[in-house]
Chain A
Amino acid sequence: MKNLLLVMKLDILESFKTKWFLIYTIVFGGIVALFLIAGVTESKVLGFSGLSRLLLSFIQICIVILPIFILITTVKSIAGDRDNSVLEYMLSFPISLRQYYMGKFLGRLFVVTVPVFGALFISLFYALIVGAEIDYFIFMFYIALLFGLSVNFLGIGFFISSLVRNQEVALGIAFFVWLLLLAFIDIILIGLMMREMLNENIIFGIALLNPIQVFRIGAIALFDTELSVIGPASYFILDTFGSTLFAVYSIVYPMALGILFLFLGYFIFKKKDLV
């Protein structure tokens, strides 16, 4: 445990010194700052007002930015250390591979979540100061959703990082995974549905295996319990899950998927050459 925490601490300290972390923090802090300056917290658009309005905008941006940021920085973690001989030296000391790998994961989890949650808490603080409407349940639910999404992409990132030996190839795969989950999978599914006349419930079921889609619908569900904005898929979701179970699914599923990939990555890391 002591060694695991040490690796975690060193990964956090190392990340704090990198340019990507600075850019990452500026991006998320900057988005919230822009929202606050633009008066999003105080605005009232289509019934969304106060902090909820800001959260909705923030979530839409997180869907695009957060996964790619996490994937890019994470795949560089193990694959990058392997490429530049850091692993060769650090693992020449008597540390277990489990402690090293999990320490890296926990360090990276802390680093990727702190700027995002920090930005959210700044907005909460601002909302308190200006007396804007605050729905604490929505706020906490969104934090849980973002945490689930972060664990998900961290797990996928560590899996890619363990699987691929070369940092450049790992980055390419990470970019492809991001594009696939963000946009292509929907286009492929719609194409399949139209061409093969597949049962729409099968298509909806496959779509709900996509963690970004689950995150997106989970976020919408809090403002629009009938999920009317997503069209016929809402009947499938509400009939299959119900709104409460889907809310739980939208947090637990991405997290569980991420943990599954994390352990698959660890298994590969342990079984393959370290350098």
Chain B
Amino acid sequence: MIEITNATKRFGDKIILDSINLTIKNGENVILMGQNGAGKTSLIRAILGEYILDSGNIFIDTVKVAKHRIETLSKISFVPQLPPPLKITVKELIDYTSTIATIDKNEIVKYSDTLHFDVKQNLNKPFFKLSGGMKQKLLISIALAKQSDIFIFDEPTANLDSNARGQFSNLLEKIDSKIFIFISHRIEEVGHIANRAITMDLAKVVSDEIL
């Protein structure tokens, strides 16, 4: 469960999260929507403990994110909107993620195969040299192989072709009783999986509805 209480974050005079109060329970698949600059990515960064809140708190299963990074992050899988330009190879990235988060490497390969990304053929390639779609598929595979309680996907299908989007949806449908948070501008992309839609505007939650 994610519990956000009165979360507020400012950069100088600009408020980027304005008294956010949310509770997301296991089994809820949330689509987080809003215009650019509405505060969606900032909220995700706060959940990941990457933004220090000016006031308020965020708890993952009653554990405070700001104080217990390792414990809370071990329950979260995250796929960013733009894959980072990592110079390390695919093998090194898999080593990093599997060591830090005790992920089974075979699971990463298994999910990659399902998404039609051949890990073994690309093991020694620098990550940044992969195509946008390949990078996204690998990061999704790592996220799913981590078998977390919470999955956060920021525009997860932005770089995927229609076939891979279908495979991605199929994989998600097999996972039960977890929390999914999708940041997306298009409800039709993950609408069939989502059962709750939260809309943000000007750093606030402006609507929260069950689908």
Total residues of chain B contacting the partner, CB 8 A: 31
Please tell me if the beta carbons of B84 and A6 are within 8 angstroms of each other in the complex.
no
A3 at the interface (CB under 8 A from B): yes
Q: How far is the CA of A13 from the CA of B90 in the complex (A)?
A: 13
Q: Which of chain B's residues have a CB closer than 8 A to the CB of A13? A: 88-89, 92
Bound CA span A89–B81, Å: 10
Which residues of chain A are near B49, meaning CB under 8 Å? 274
Docked complex Cα distance between A86 and B86 (Å): 7
A95 close to B87 (CB less than 8 A)? no
- Count chain B CB atoms within 10 A of each CB in A87, A89, A90 and give the residue with the most: A89
Q: How many residues of A contact B (CB 8 A)?
A: 28
- By beta carbon, the residue of chain B nearest A81 is B84
Q: Is the CB of B96 within 8 A of A6?
A: yes
CB of A2 closer than 8 Å to a CB of B: yes
A133 at interface by CB-CB < 8 Å: no
B140 to chain A, nearest CB (A): 13
Known: A85-B84, A86-B85, A96-B69. A10 touches B92 (CB 8 A): yes
Query: How close is B94's CB to chain A, nearest CB, in angstroms?
Result: 12
Do residues B88 and A273 form an inter-chain contact, with CB atoms below 8 A? Answer: no
Verify A10–B88 contact, CB threshold 8 A. Answer: yes
Q: Could you tell me if B101 and A89 are in contact, using CB atoms closer than 8 angstroms? A: no
A94/B73 contact (C-beta < 8 A), A86-B85, A88-B45 known: yes
Q: Tell me if B78 counts as interface (CB < 8 A to partner A).
A: yes
Interface residue A84 (Cβ < 8 Å from any Cβ of B): yes
Q: Does A44 contact B (CB under 8 A)?
A: no
Taking a contact as CB atoms under 8 Å apart, the answer to whether B80 and A89 are in contact is yes
A271: which of B52, B97, B99 is its contact (CB, 8 Å)? B52
Residue among A7, A92, A94 having the largest count of chain B Cβ atoms under 10 Å: A92
**Residue contact B86 to A273, C-beta cutoff 8 Å:** no
Inside 8 A of A18's CB, which chain B residues have their CB?
87
A-B contact pairs, 5 of them (CB 8 A): A17-B126, A93-B96, A94-B70, A95-B100, A274-B49
The 6 A-B pairs with the shortest beta carbon distances in the complex, nearest first, are A94-B73, A92-B78, A94-B74, A274-B50, A94-B70, A86-B84
Q: Beyond A93-B73, A97-B69: 19 further Cβ-contacts under 8 Å?
A: A3-B99, A6-B99, A7-B96, A10-B88, A10-B96, A13-B89, A86-B85, A88-B48, A89-B78, A89-B80, A89-B83, A92-B73, A94-B71, A273-B50, A273-B52, A274-B49, A274-B50, A275-B45, A275-B51
List B residues at the A interface (Cβ < 8 Å): 45, 48-52, 69-71, 73-74, 76, 78, 80, 82-89, 92, 95-97, 99-101, 126, 139
Q: Could you list which residues of chain A lie within 8 angstroms of chain B, going by C-beta atoms?
A: 2-3, 6-7, 10, 13-14, 17-18, 84-97, 271-275
